[in-house]
Amino acid sequence: MLIVSSTLVIQGCISENEKSSQRLHTYFESIRNNEALLTAFFSEMPKGGDLHNHFSGSVYAETYWNYLLRMRPWFDTVTLAFEYDSIKLVNKKGDYRRYKSATQLIAAKKLADIKQRILQAWSVKDYVDLGIPSHKHFFDTFGKLPSGGWKETGVGLQELQYRAARENVQYLELMLRSVPSDKMVTDEAHYTSSLKLVDYSDTVRLHAMLDSLVAAFRSIDLSADVKAFNEKLQAIHNQYVPDNNAVTIRYQTYVNRRNEPVKFFRDLLAAFEAAQTNTLVTGVNILSPEHGDVSMRDYKLHMYMFRYCSQLYNTVKYSMHAGELTLGLVKPEDLTFHIQDAVYIAGANRIGHGVDMAYESDNATLLRHMEEKKIAIEINLYSNEFILQVKEDSHPISLYRKYHVPIVISTDDAGILRSNLVHQYVLLAKRYPQVSYAEIKEYIRNSITYSFIKEAELKQSLQDSLARKTELFEKKILQEQDLLAREFTK
Ligand SMILES: [Zn+2]
């Protein structure tokens, strides 16, 4: 009897859970076409992690502006450049007359105007085809921001933590910066010309060359720069990210694909070493416009270099921007191999963007491979829309879904794009009615499962707390619906 009644209780619980799931599904479908209701829903919903998040592009332009004002800069009223080093200002010779301090601009009642123009230059604010392509406007902003050093990192970290907590995001994996180094081997030119001549698929020859480069960089103590980077990062993290923080933060370091081969390899070596030796550095990435001249020319070489470094530092995880391309941006044949090279040659653990998937050769095999090896795809809907004009059914999310590739939803550059993670989920729900509420919950769980967090306990505790928070959120949604129903029938 006891066994029978327990079974009945369990059956009762299951049907109660199923009932709740069905009600949530029905409610979600009822708001799917209403952006305001979706925004309210996703603002409250715990969203796990944001795994594709560029630190400098995620901080809003207003924050950089406030930071810059505290440095007492002079602004070039024509080009909107700024300078806070008076010696450098004087060295600009005739041009320095265009530079005005904030005090001078306030007196002339021009500071507000300069601020607006700068916010537009540092982000997509008010962008309406300014006569330059959206991808150029987007990528150019990075060179204009007062970022790149350690000084403003704390300011940015505070903003990103605050926003993540407000948005119910529990984890950020930030692409922070490259390991700074100006160390260079004496025979750089020789290595450069040799690397350009070698057949990369001849891995014996290529690896012999890279072995020699590794030895050369070790002889000039590249590791000292890695150590300095790790120490600085640890200090900044300790200062600005409290232990009991609601938002867990980890970092990726990265390499710039526009750099010439030897410099690229130096930075890659340093990046892998940092990721191997620092718990806070969970992985490595590769970035900068994929369609740039050097990026396209050296694409395969970069893939083989990643493969080499992954064998040298075999515990390091890496996500790779790959296939952030579309028809018209490059030649059609250049759309056919970037994701597969990142997967098959470089051995990427996750792919960032993967927009050109529909154009990749034999993409069915590639997609099956990604599903089988659990290589997650980081989908950045608004970024793809703004930079590449790829959206709705031209976006390959349907292909990734069709083959059950693990999907995570991320922001890319929320600051420059004037967006946030909630916005990405709103676009997902509204544009892709085939993606159910249950599937969206799976994407959110994926954002912790496929994170590169090294500490197994921390990862598990984030999964557990996400499950608890989601349960509370769903209860609240249903209670609110009950309350509204009662009020309506009064
Ligand atoms: Zn990106």
**pLDDT, mean of each 10-residue run, the chain (490 residues):** 45 76 96 97 98 96 91 88 81 79 89 92 85 87 79 91 96 97 95 89 91 97 98 96 90 97 98 98 96 96 97 98 96 97 98 98 98 98 96 98 98 96 98 98 98 98 98 96 84
C-alpha 265 to ligand 1 mean position (Å): 20
End-to-end, the C-alpha distance of the chain in Å comes to 44
Q: For residue 10, what pLDDT is reported? A: 52
Compute, in angstroms, the gap from residue 53 CA to the centroid of ligand 1: 7
Q: What separation in Å is there between the alpha carbon of 428 and the centre of ligand 1?
A: 18
Report the C-alpha gap between 74 and 105 in whole angstroms.
Answer: 9
Is the separation of the CB atoms in 432 and 396 below 8 Å? no
CA 348, 448, 398, 373 torsion: positive or negative?
Answer: positive
Q: Which CATH superfamily is domain 156-466 in?
A: Metal-dependent hydrolases (3.20.20.140)
How far, in Å, is the centroid of ligand 1 from the Cα of 69? 28
Half-sphere exposure of 382 (CA within 13 A, CB side): 24
Q: How far apart are CA 20 and CA 466, in angstroms?
A: 18
**What pLDDT, on a 0 to 100 scale, did the predictor assign at position 488?**
75
* Residue for token pair 């590449």: 388
How remote is the CA of residue 488 from the centroid of ligand 1, in Å?
46
**Among the listed residues 148, 143, 75, 155, the one whose alpha carbon sits nearest the alpha carbon of residue 115:** 75
Ligand 1 centroid, distance to 345 Cα (angstroms): 21
- CA of 379 from ligand 1 middle (Å) equals 10
Neighbour order of strands in the sheet with 82-83? 82-83, 74-76, 99-101
Please provide residue 280's backbone torsions phi and psi, each rounded to the nearest 5 degrees. Answer: -70, -25
pLDDT of residue 490: 66
Phi-psi region of 168 (alpha: psi -120 to 50; beta: other; left: phi over 0): left
Residue found by looking up tokens 């970022």 in the block: 147
Q: Find the helix or strand (DSSP H, E) in which 256 lies.
A: strand 248-256
413 C-alpha vs ligand 1 centroid, how far in Å?
7
Report, in angstroms and rounded to the nearest whole number, the Rg of the chain calculated over CA atoms.
25
- pLDDT value at position 5? 45
Q: Where are the domains of the chain?
A: 61-144, 156-466
Please name the helix (run of DSSP H) or strand (run of DSSP E) that holds residue 254, with its range, or none: strand 248-256
Per the CB < 8 A criterion, the answer to whether 121 and 80 are in contact is: yes
d(CA 449, CA 462) in angstroms, rounded, equals 9
CB-based contacts of 106-112 (< 8 A; 24+ apart in sequence): 110/77
For residue 452, what pLDDT is reported? 98
Q: Tell me how far the alpha carbon of residue 91 lies from the centroid of ligand 1, in angstroms.
A: 36
Nearest partner of 351 among 372, 312, 322, judged by Cα: 322
CA of 55 to the centre of ligand 1 (A): 10
Q: What's the burial of 328, exposed, middle or buried (CB within 10 Å: 0-12/13-18/19+)?
A: exposed
Is there a contact between 428 and 381 (Cβ–Cβ < 8 Å)?
yes
Q: Which residues pair with 408 in a beta bridge?
A: 378
- Taking the centre of ligand 1 as the mean of its atom positions, its distance from the CA of residue 162, in whole angstroms, is 21
**Which residues sit with Cβ closer than 5 angstroms to ligand 1, an ion?**
412
Is the CB of residue 267 less than 8 Å from the CB of residue 259?
A: yes
